[in-house]
Amino acid sequence: MMFRIQPAMLKIAAAAWLLGATGAMADTTLEFTQWWEPELPAGSLRAIMNDFEAANPGIKVTLVSGPYATTRDQISVGAATGTLSDVVGLDGAWVNNLNAQNALADMNPMMDASEFDKTQVADIIKVDGKAVMFPVASFVYPVFVNMDLAAQAGVTKLPSTRAEFLEAAKKMTHADTNQYGWVLPLSLQTPSGVQNDLMSWVWASGQSMMADGKPALEGKPVVDMLTFVKSLNDAGVISPGIATKTEQEKVEEFVNDRVGMMIDSLAHVNLIRKRNPKLNFDLIPVPVVENYNGKRGLPYASWGIGISAASKHQEEAWKLVQYLMSEKVNAKLVTLANAFPGNVNAKPDFVTSDKAFAKAFEIFKTGYLANEFTGLPVAEDLMTQFDVEAQKMLAGEQSPEEAAANAQKGWMAKF
């Protein structure tokens, strides 16, 4: 008997050892690189990962977290060396380059295989037909209005069109007391002002800076926007120091009652309240061109997510992406981040408890997310080029048409 059992046991043990050695019995560990963890309340992203692990036995998630810029560099190098983490946090501005390196997996087949409901996500970022990124959380950019300055200036109706905005900005400007109607940050250090504070005027009116996948900067929408911004500058309603002003300084000026209006991320609401609890402000959508009644494009920055093409655990990685995009989990994550959801059915808690966020959520629901820099090659470089041409225009060195034509020439070289 003993002799019969022993070989059987040995066989089982050998099989178990083999399975263990090949990893079949081991947990799958996913690596998830992102910059979100340091920006969320301590331990909150880890807690969401713990819930995911509990719901998906056999899958563990290791978070690789760092500041935004470090993560960007890490992902660039990882893509080049084939060591990109299984799941990666993405900014829309990066995806074109990463796709050119074949670093991101196409999520279309994964969506089809799992019968994923595509209508539940706010957006799917595609490059060359490949679904490479989902925006998990979106930080929209409405116009913040200092209501006390508006009331003092006699602005009773908040601007809805560009002409009304110019009038309101003029009324709020008192250069002798360092008070201005609008603030425009065009520092070359962080040229995101081009996206958030300039192109947002184009997108708000349902217009585009592109045509057939190519830049169309010489078209009417961009030239009109530049002409409008020039008119604001000529009217002296923009706070001085445009060419070196950063987003951070823009917010500081608004917080200190020095500007009446600014286009800014909703993510800054709590910061503004903390810096100046007495500040009475309201949010409005970015004003549009005359007689435009269509849906308004809402500029946004996002925390995107994608899967590495080199990942050996794409099936498990897709489970994590699905989990983060699911209604309840997405609502939980964006509530923690004070952002708007990537899942259209998710409703973050703060929209019912906070008046400002509730208003912004209304703007969000009635408009659509618009950021044409997402997916463009070397997006930051394109912004820098446009920034320089806009600076030249504001310095009186060229007309809006010339600025648009020069920017177009520079952009075409990058395409």
CA–CA separation, 149 and 174 (whole Å): 11
Contact 218, 404 (CB under 8 A): yes
CA–CA separation, 144 and 230 (whole Å): 21
Could you say which of 80, 113, 151, 358 contacts another protein (CB under 8 A)?
Answer: 80
Contacts of 169 (CB under 8 A, 6+ apart): 180, 181, 182, 232, 235, 237, 260, 261
Which one of the spans 46-54, 56-64, 80-88, 312-320 is the region binding another protein (CB under 8 A)? 80-88
Chain positions 392 to 411 lying near another protein, rule: CB under 8 A, are 392, 395, 397
Residue 244 makes contact with another protein by CB under 8 A: yes
Contact 119, 145 (CB under 8 A): no
Of 43 and 82, the one with the shorter C-beta distance to another protein is 82
b or e along 379-405 (b: 16 or more beta carbons within 10 Å of the residue's beta carbon)? bbebbbbbbbbbbbbbeeebebeebbe
SS3 assignment, position 249: helix
CA–CA separation, 202 and 296 (whole Å): 10
Which one of the spans 147-155, 229-237, 323-331, 390-398 is the region binding another protein (CB under 8 A)? 390-398
SS3 assignment, position 39: helix
Residue 378 makes contact with another protein by CB under 8 A: yes
Residue 51 makes contact with another protein by CB under 8 A: no
Could you say which of 187, 195, 196, 343 contacts another protein (CB under 8 A)?
Answer: 187
Residue 352 makes contact with another protein by CB under 8 A: no
End-to-end CA distance of the chain: give it in Å, rounded: 77
Residue 309 makes contact with another protein by CB under 8 A: no
Of 219 and 241, the one with the shorter C-beta distance to another protein is 241
Q: How many residues bind another protein (CB under 8 A)?
A: 32
Of 97 and 345, the one with the shorter C-beta distance to another protein is 97
Shortest Cβ distance from residue 153 to another protein (Å)? 19
Which one of the spans 138-146, 154-162, 183-191, 334-342 is the region binding another protein (CB under 8 A)? 183-191
Structure tokens at 358: 């509730």
Residue 258 makes contact with another protein by CB under 8 A: yes
Which one of the spans 55-63, 140-148, 221-229, 373-381 is the region binding another protein (CB under 8 A)? 373-381
Structure tokens at 272: 């503004």
Binding site for another protein (CB under 8 A): 73, 76-77, 79-82, 97, 101, 178, 187-191, 240-245, 258, 378, 380-381, 384, 387-388, 391-392, 395, 397
